[in-house]
Chain A
Amino acid sequence: MEITNIETIPGKTITTHYGLVCGSTVRSKNAFKDIGASFKNMFGGELKNYTRLLEETRQEAISRMIEQATAIGANAIVNVRFATSDIAAGAAEIYIYGTAVRVE
């Protein structure tokens, strides 16, 4: 599966468009880990727990999008976009969408 965030896959031609595919994940923070984060927050610097959490969440959303694209017979996804939204206090949604295509 080739994924890009531009309209084409450079060096290849798009033969079929399959339409929108997307993947989303909603994750909440771990209240226990958060105690450590709020302590670390006094000192500043990177909050590695949060970085890791968001990275995992994003990977999960991408793999859901890939799953959906594979199911309809696409071999590439172009023009991928990321969106995030706070849905509740301490929870966030990561949404990833793109256009599934077949390239040759």
Chain B
Amino acid sequence: MEDLIAWGIWISLFVFFYFIGTYREKAHLKSIVEREKALVSLPALTLKFAEDRPVVKTELVMGSVVIGGDFFKQTVASLASLFGMRISVAEAMMDRARREAVLRMKEKAAGADAILNVRMEGMKIGERNKITGIEALACGTAVYYSK
């Protein structure tokens, strides 16, 4: 009986956090898509040179974000890693973190004409095998062309 209650609590937590995590992830993705549309005029390039125009100002810009996984994701990830499966919940998390980092970088470069040589970096946050969160960092050189 006690076992049954423990399992019941565990499963209801699993379902509860699945809905919470999914809702929050969808809300975040929606805001990312909206902001990406608004910032589409400022291209983030991986090139070191883009246009042959006189430059008046350059600036190092970066954006970073730490995204944490939820209870559901962490459980699924640890189960999937037993069998060497593709962990799609983690893929979605990485995608959100990187896109958010690029957006924050763009927001810091407001007024620039382009961001050159954009690099992405990441770091795992958490101890040993446990993934508390992942950090994504985007950095690049914002250039302002003379008008």
Interface residues of A (CB under 8 A from B): 2-7, 9-11, 37-38, 40-48, 50-51, 54-55, 58, 80, 82, 84, 86, 89-90, 92
Contact = CB atoms under 8 A, between A and B. Distances in A.
A37 B54 CA distance: 47
Nearest to B131: A41
B135 A50 contact: yes
A6 B48 contact: yes
Contact of A6 (B20, B65, B67, B117): B117
Interface residues of B, number: 43
A37 B64 CA distance: 17
A32 to B, nearest CB: 16
Interface of B: 17, 20-21, 24-25, 28, 48-49, 54-56, 58-60, 62, 64-71, 73-74, 100, 116-117, 119, 121, 123-125, 127-128, 132-133, 135, 137, 139-141, 143
Nearest to B25: A44
Contacts of A11: 54-56, 58
In terms of DSSP, what is the predominant structure of the interface of chain A? mixed
Contact of B132 (A3, A41, A54): A41
Given A5-B139, A6-B117, A7-B48, A42 B64 contact: no
A86 B62 CA distance: 21
